Chain A
């Protein structure tokens, strides 16, 4: 059974700091990994999708890396802003043994202080 862990559970940083969020998964047989943000009381917004054959994806100030063999992904946020405050979730889509579901981590709650 796939398990996804995110560290840290919560993070508070001053505006302008670069930061790294970590995601690890137990079954390396994945199709892809996706990072989302969730704002309080709202649904999920997709940030980046990394296919299993890829090593990283970039979008603006965000960079996500994937090391499939070691079961790890990181989300790097450059020059953080108060508007980045949200819960960040990583989710993996498993291979044949895990079915077609997305398995989510518990999330990292990020607060960027002005």
Chain B
């Protein structure tokens, strides 16, 4: 597609439920990033995929968070047993290669009630 697509755009879930967020990067982009932005705060790095290399998971805040990417296509970010502090906008970005311009999706606004 023309841009990075994220779904759903909004998600309200009950505390303790699992959620899955999806990111469709720009076709051909080898690098894919997930970030989290809490209300009024800056972007917080979560995870980075580059081609078929092992992902950089160093930003994941706890073992409740995991992400997968199949090849150079879709990525899913899964949050298990959601907590209220998980409420944030989750942003996905992709780039042609690691040093290229990053293009961001519009994000998924997650609200845990």
Contacts and interface: CB of A to CB of B under 8 A. Distances in A.
B5 to A, nearest CB: 11
A89 B104 contact: no
B105 A43 contact: yes
- Majority secondary structure of chain A interface residues (helix, strand, loop or mixed): strand
B106 A99 contact: no
Contacts of B101: 34, 46, 49
Q: Considering residues B43, B103, B104, which has the most beta carbons from chain A within 10 angstroms of its beta carbon?
A: B43
Contacts of A36: 104
Interface residues of B, number: 24
B98 interface: yes
Contacts, number: 58
A31 B99 contact: yes
A102 interface: yes
**Interface bracket on A:** 20 to 34
A93 interface: yes
Contacts of A49: 100-101
A61 interface: no
A89 B104 CA distance: 13
A28 interface: no
Contacts of A43: 91, 104-107
A75 B9 CA distance: 30
Interface of B: 31, 33, 35, 41-43, 45, 48, 50, 56, 58-59, 91, 93, 98-107
Given A34-B102, A101-B45, A102-B33, 10 more contacts: A43-B105, A44-B104, A46-B101, A49-B101, A89-B43, A99-B58, A100-B31, A100-B48, A101-B58, A101-B59
